[in-house]
Every structure is written in C-alpha cells, then in structure tokens.
Amino acid sequence: MSPLEAIDRMAGQPVLVIGDMIADIYLYGNISRISREAPVLVLEQSHERVVAGGAANVINNAATLGGKVFAAGLVGDDSGADGLVEILSGRGVDVRGFVRDAGRPTISKTRIVAGGRTTVSQQIVRVDKESREPMPPDCERQLEAYLSQVLPKVKGVVLSDYGSGTITDGLLAQIFSYCREHGIPTIVDSRYDIFRFKTVDYIKQNDAELAAAVGRQLETEEELVEAGRELLARMEAKGALITRGEDGMTLFQKDGSVAHIPVTDKSEVYDVSGAGDTCVATVILGLAAGVEPVLASRLSNEASGIAVRKMGTAVVSADELRSKFR
C-alpha cells in the first residue's frame, strides 16, 4: 500500500479518543506601561483565543486528518468547556461524551502573551487551573454509558493520559475488555504512569518518557533499542513507537523487528507543542484503516514534522499530509 492510498483509507475511519481534555487559553495584550504598584508590565488586553489541548488536541488532529471522531472526557461547566465544544463540534466531532461536572473547572493553561508595535510578542506567564479531586461516581457512570454506546461503532481507540485522572481503572477495564474481544486496536500516550495501561496494543512515548519508564539514562542507540524492547515486553503490547526529536521515530514490534524512521525535513522547528498528539491521531487512523504499523508510523512521522513547523498547538490536515508524498 502506498502512503497516498493509506491516507485515503484513513478518511472517515471511526475512532474514539478518551482522556484529559485541556483548554489552552491565550490572552494577548499590548504593553501599556510599568505598574505603579509593582515593577511589572501593565497590558491592555487585545483578544483571547481558546485552543484544544491535551486529549482534545488528539481529537482535533484526528478530525482534520479526516477521521470520524468520538470524544469522551470530563470537563467543567464553564467557558473553557464551551470553547472546546465549539472547536471540536465545528470539526464534526461527536462531543456527547463530554461529561460536565459543575464542581470542577475544565483543565486550562492560560498563557499571557505581551507585545507592542516595536516588540516581538512573547509569553510572560502561564496560569494553570485544575481540580485534583477524583472523578465523581455519577460522572464515571455517565462515561461508562457513553462508552457502551460508542465502542461498537469505532475501529480504534486512543487513551490520552496527561495525569489528570480521567481514565479511571474502571473505564480502562471496560475499554480493554471490549476492544480485545472485538479486535479493535488501542494506543496509549501516557506522560506519567505508562504501566497502568499494560496489555494495550500500541504505546507512544518520547525518548525521555521511555528512559523514565525503564529507570535509566539512554545515551546510545543500543541502549534505546534495549529499553524499547524491554518496555514492549513489560507492557505485553504489539508495538511501541518512540519519538526521538531530530532523530525521528523508532517502532518496536512484538515479532522482534525494529524500524527506524528518520526525519525527512530538518528545516526550522518553530514549536513542538502538541506534536505527540498529532502522532497518536495519525497512527490510530492508520491502524483503524488496516494500514501496516510501519507505514502508519511513517505517516505519523511526516504529520508530526508538519505540526512542529507551526506556532503553538497546531493541527495537520489530510491535504497537508498528502502533499508530503506527492
């Protein structure tokens, strides 16, 4: 199968993304003066922008790449949740799996960006907002009910874990049980506790996360290969895709094969924010379409390369990905 054929097959594939939804909020202001109260800038706010972050960025990318996406996660009953719903529903995403909890805020990362007519705009501070309370039982029951309705409709599942507790043990067991029984591929991207997801089909980690998982520094190619194989065995997975920055990606498979996928375009990298989300979205659409894992990984490598050359948390379209292979 050629890359272009694979991209065409990815169109319309139904996938579920469940995880920690984050509203990336950007507040832009023009520098007015120095405050009399403290030696800080006073900004006159010019505009505000909400961007889908965390698992919501995976969803956004899967949608722009042509997938039919079902979204499940816990959000607050606030403007952050409203912003995510507006963005994702505008992409055709099924957001009925967004369970709202009025007792908590939507996870948000508010970046205040300052600039002026003669200065370059730059981020001066970030304010994070998140509840550390466990998911209420009634919210978990609502997510369980949504999963029961949606899992029979999908051909792939992404577990996007940013450490905020959306993917509970109960929900994880429900997903794994159904997907194993019906042969639906699953992939996890977990920043903090990868071993919670043992027996997932595919793992996506970056090289630093891999080093943390195996508990040692990985300074050579041989050490990375050994660690990748160790992670794959301990997770009892079919494949592990390790992203390596300018060194591309390496895919480890259960049959013992190791595929190194180099970066094809080393032009200037503007921002790596969200590139891992683009990677996971591409891989799951490929797997859902029956694309071989090595080719799905190659497509994700190219998609991620497009994303890092855009400012901020960005999405990649199917047409942009096709252009890399024409």
Spatial separation of the C-alpha atoms in residues 319 and 302, rounded to whole Å = 12
- Edge-first strand listing for the sheet containing 41-54: 41-54, 21-34, 107-116, 119-129
**Paired sense of beta strands 21-34 and 14-19, if any:** unpaired
Spatial separation of the C-alpha atoms in residues 21 and 27, rounded to whole Å = 19
Full DSSP string of 3-25: HHHHHHHHTT-EEEEEE-EEEEE
Spatial separation of the C-alpha atoms in residues 66 and 10, rounded to whole Å = 7
Question: And the tokens for 65?
Answer: 């790449």
Who's near 40: CB < 8 A, 6+ residues apart? 34
User: Please, where are the H alpha helices in the chain?
Assistant: 3-10, 55-64, 79-89, 137-150, 169-182, 207-214, 221-235, 275-288, 293-307, 318-323
Spatial separation of the C-alpha atoms in residues 146 and 140, rounded to whole Å = 10
Spatial separation of the C-alpha atoms in residues 211 and 198, rounded to whole Å = 17
For residue 55, count other CB atoms closer than 10 A to its CB.
30
113 CB-contact burial (10 Å; exposed 0-12 / middle 13-18 / buried 19+): middle
Marked catalytic residue, from 94, 161, 189, 277: 277
Which of 14, 276, 31 minimizes the C-alpha distance to 156? 14
Answer yes or no: 277 catalytic. yes
Catalytic residues: 277
